[in-house]
Amino acid sequence: MNGHTLTARQRLALLWLGAISPVFQRLPGALLQQGAGAAAWLAPILALVPLGLAGLLFCRLLRPLPGLGLAEGLCRCLGQPLGRGLSLVFAAWAVVLCASSLRSGAERFCFAVFPQSGAAPFLLVMSALGLMGALGRLRTLGRMAEAVLPFLLLGLALVLLPGLPGIEVENLRIPDGAQIPPAALGSLVVTNTASAAAFAAFLPGESVGRRRDWLWVFCSLGLLGLLLCAVTLGRLGAELSGELPYPFFLLLRDLRFLRLLERVEALLCAQWVFTDFFLTAVLLSAAGLCAATVCTGDGTRRRWPTVFASAAALGLAWLNPAALWGLLPTGNALLLFGGLTLTLVVGRLRKVA
Amino acid sequence: MKRWICIFPALLCLLTGCGPSLWSNYQPVEELLPVETVGFDVVDGQVQITVSAPGEGSTTQLTARGDTVAAAAENLRPWAGGAALFFPHTRYALLSPEAAERLSSEILPWFTHSGRSRLAIPVFILREGTARALLEGLNAAGQNAGQALEALSPTEQPVTLLELARELRRSGSALCPAVAGGALHEHDPAAAEGALCALNAGYARLRPGAAVEFTEVQP
């Protein structure tokens, strides 16, 4: 037992908490942009298959690596030169994802809670918090995730469940079959969106955990996406949801508890700070570990690579390159699923995975 | 790491208003002018916003025009006498028929982006006159606009801004309760000149790109 490896439960908690931040920000908007319309709620259901497969992929990749992270797994499966090269690519990609997460978190805060503010204070504070989390002992970060998880689940229940009675079934009715192919394609969008925090697999963990735990973590993200899409589309309709920025966060403005308490959207939005924090910390830790593995052969001396990754992510988020954000879905799918599936296949052929 | 856990909540405090640009989101409560009812008209091709903010003993009413809803709202600021107009607790919206045609294109985006108001605000369409005239008439009669409109709300759930926008997009038309001003001095000679009361005036049918139609009863 030491502070530099996570338990299986901590790793899964970090993965789940980090994943819900992009899920709530991008759904159902990303599905509506694809033309899924009223059928957008189908996408998270269809995504249960690729999400389940993703869970199995990560479980399978980590099984022969007790006490290690995926960076070592890449080197083991692909050999040192290729594994180190791919680790470096993953480190760079984690920085890009972290920058995107910082930027979108800041913009969400400006829209939902502080409309007269710029993004700068949020970028600075969140990158500083993420760096602190990433530089500390991984076990502590994991314990924080375990402690926050029940409170966040309670918060999600308070946000989503009161929206269920307001759902109009008419808004969820699929008018024709033309919207089903975009919805089916949208299942990959859901998988992609939920997979940003899969970088938690790069953090060293003592044990892999049971296969059904990995399946459950990934599939529960799909079910959360379904609930989110159903509440948003059922109350606003597909057309209006597609036009509004952050439609779910707009719905929070109208939330009332027992006709006694209202206008609590700022408090509810504040809990998303935790999800942003965990995602940032996981991505910076993963970037630092991957870079340290390339430089030193193991991930022990990761302080300066992590600091450098944090500075790079902050700089990118500050510059806000829209063209780069446009590449995120494709790049994520290619690297996280294409790259890792290929790694597993090569590892199996070489009989090391 | 314990040290960081201590610093974490301290840094979170930054998110509650210590930064210079965050501070502008905060106003002392005594400097806020909470808007209860907001009226939209179109006069000479310009958007005219009238806000009614009841205070202790009197109601503040302000009107301004602009080329867009956002510009008109911005032009209201100088008339607020140093107070900050506070829209998040707006209870009712009054729309003239011409303004109702700009519901989707201008009014809803303003509410979502700048107004920070709830979107489940009951909406009334004016059958005659302007929102400004009705709010001024209610004020002259010593009536609170919010309470007068609340008394008009149909027994079923009133139609909200969100529902109107949703129905317009989904089915291409939407029904909304209509309101008209009734001259009080016709019935009560003691009433002030220009004093009005709010009256139910049937329903307005809204369609994108078409003039508002009125009906007496809900079809």
- Note the pLDDT tens digit of each residue in A21-43: 899 888 899 999 988 888 999 99
What is the maximal distance between C-alpha atoms in chain A?
A: 64
User: What is the nearest CA distance from B104 to chain A, expressed in angstroms?
Assistant: 10
Confidence of residue B146 (pLDDT cuts 50, 70, 90): confident
Confidence of residue B157 (pLDDT cuts 50, 70, 90): low
- At B81, the amino acid letter reads G
- Note the pLDDT tens digit of each residue in A301-345: 888 899 999 999 999 999 999 899 888 888 888 888 889 999 999
- Note the pLDDT tens digit of each residue in A227-253: 999 999 999 888 889 888 888 888 888
Q: Hey, are the CB atoms on A117 and B166 less than 8 Å from each other?
A: no
Q: What is the pLDDT of residue A161?
A: 87
Q: Hey, are the CB atoms on A121 and B117 less than 8 Å from each other?
A: no
Nearest residue on chain B to A118, judged by CA atoms?
Answer: B21
Overall average pLDDT of the A172-198 stretch: 88
pTM (two decimals): 0.85
Task: Please tell me the distance from the alpha carbon of residue B62 to that of residue B53, in angstroms, as a whole number.
Answer: 9
- Choose the closest CB to A121 out of B8, B21, B116: B21
Q: What is the pLDDT of residue B48?
A: 94
Q: What is the pLDDT of residue B19?
A: 45
Looking at per-residue confidence, does A266 or A213 come out higher? A213
Contact residues of B toward A, CB < 8 A: 1, 4-5, 7-8, 11-12, 14-15, 19, 21-22, 24-25, 88-89, 112-114, 116-120, 162, 165-166, 169-170
Quote the percentage of chain A above a pLDDT of 90: 42
Nearest residue on chain A to B172, judged by CA atoms?
Answer: A239
Which candidate in A107, A116, A252, A256 is best for mutational testing of the B interface (most B CBs within 10 A)? A116
User: What is the nearest CA distance from A89 to chain B, expressed in angstroms?
Assistant: 29
- Note the pLDDT tens digit of each residue in B63-83: 999 999 989 988 998 888 888
Q: What is the pLDDT of residue B115?
A: 58
Which candidate in A4, A124, A132, A252 is best for mutational testing of the B interface (most B CBs within 10 A)? A132
Residue A266 near chain B (CB below 8 Å): no
Which range (A110-119, A156-165, A177-186, B158-167) has the least confidence? A110-119
| Average pLDDT taken over every residue of chain A | 88
- Note the pLDDT tens digit of each residue in A256-309: 777 777 777 777 777 888 999 999 999 999 999 999 888 876 667 888 899 999
Nearest residue on chain A to B163, judged by CA atoms?
Answer: A236
Overall average pLDDT of the A51-69 stretch: 88
pLDDT at B24 over 70: no
Q: What is the pLDDT of residue B17?
A: 47
Q: What is the pLDDT of residue A1?
A: 44
Task: State which H helix or E strand residue B49 sits in.
Answer: strand B46-54
Overall average pLDDT of the A47-59 stretch: 91
Q: Hey, are the CB atoms on A121 and B14 less than 8 Å from each other?
A: yes
Chains A and B form CB pairs within 8 A to the count of 79
Which candidate in B170, B171, B173 is best for mutational testing of the A interface (most A CBs within 10 A)? B170
ipTM of the complex: 0.76
Q: What is the pLDDT of residue A111?
A: 82
Task: Please tell me the distance from the alpha carbon of residue B179 to that of residue B124, in angstroms, as a whole number.
Answer: 6
Confidence of residue B25 (pLDDT cuts 50, 70, 90): low
What DSSP assignment string belongs to B105-166? IIIHHHIIIII---S--BEEEESSS-HHHHHHHHHHTT--HHHHHHHHS-SSPPPBHHHHHH
Tokens coding A3:
């502070």
Rg (CA), chain B: 20
